[in-house]
């Protein structure tokens, strides 16, 4: 696919037909997810992958414990679900070391949580690679406390959400009509 077509095709698919992904293909998508920038040149990512019907079901039950399986059941048809996270510890260690170029200091001085930023870039690359490979994707939030308990997630991991991918059901959801002018300022300093 042309890159512009990948971007144009990106939309949220919450319902899938029974779907599968082979190991090599998933590895390719995960590799793409590691091509994003990361604060301090670290390798902060801590992602979890659930592949195939039983793992996908286990994810849903742990990540959304109050939701019955038959609520929106076509979410269960995802070929795989990847939880995107980053390790806070990684940054703490990196910023204790000799100065990082352009850095204003350690995590306590950051304007935003870099783990959230880096994991978000990673999730976006994963989605674009998945769309390029012909899948539909869905980024969503979930109950990270219940999930962490169920899957013994390291306590320093910041989980930003998950991406489900699969063969999408047809969707006739309306696309957003936001324009660049709606959201982009061209600020000028007051004189």
Ligand X SMILES: Cc1cc2nc3c(=O)[nH]c(=O)nc-3n(C[C@H](O)[C@H](O)[C@H](O)COP(=O)(O)O)c2cc1C
Q: Contact positions toward ligand X, by CB under 6 A?
A: 11-12, 14, 139-141, 161, 176
Q: Are the C-beta atoms of residues 11 and 171 closer than 8 Å to each other?
A: yes
Choice between 104 and 176, CB closer to ligand X: 176
User: Least Å distance between CB 13 and ligand X?
Assistant: 8
User: Least Å distance between CB 120 and ligand X?
Assistant: 8
User: Least Å distance between CB 5 and ligand X?
Assistant: 16
Choice between 105 and 141, CB closer to ligand X: 141
User: Least Å distance between CB 152 and ligand X?
Assistant: 23
Choice between 80 and 159, CB closer to ligand X: 159
User: Least Å distance between CB 128 and ligand X?
Assistant: 13
Choice between 40 and 144, CB closer to ligand X: 144
Of 159, 158, 146, the C-alpha closest to 82 is 159
Choice between 21 and 164, CB closer to ligand X: 164
């Amino acid at each position: 696919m042309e890159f512009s077509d990948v971007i144009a095709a990106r939309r949220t698919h919450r319902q899938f037909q029974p779907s599968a992904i082979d190991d090599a293909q998933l590895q390719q998508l995960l590799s793409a997810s590691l091509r994003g920038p990361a604060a301090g040149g670290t390798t902060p990512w801590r992602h979890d992958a659930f592949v195939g019907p039983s793992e996908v079901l286990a994810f849903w039950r742990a990540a959304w414990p109050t939701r019955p399986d038959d609520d929106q059941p076509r979410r269960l048809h995802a070929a795989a679900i990847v939880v995107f996270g980053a390790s806070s510890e990684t940054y703490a260690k990196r910023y204790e070391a000799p100065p990082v170029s352009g850095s204003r200091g350690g995590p306590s001085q950051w304007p935003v949580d870099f783990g959230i930023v880096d994991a978000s870039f990673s999730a976006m690359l994963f989605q674009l690679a998945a769309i390029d490979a012909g899948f539909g994707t869905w980024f969503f939030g979930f109950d990270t406390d219940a999930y962490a308990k169920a899957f013994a997630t390291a306590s320093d991991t910041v989980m930003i959400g998950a991406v489900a991918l699969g063969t999408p059901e047809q969707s006739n959801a309306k696309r957003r009509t936001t324009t660049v002018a709606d959201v982009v300022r061209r600020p000028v300093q007051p004189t």
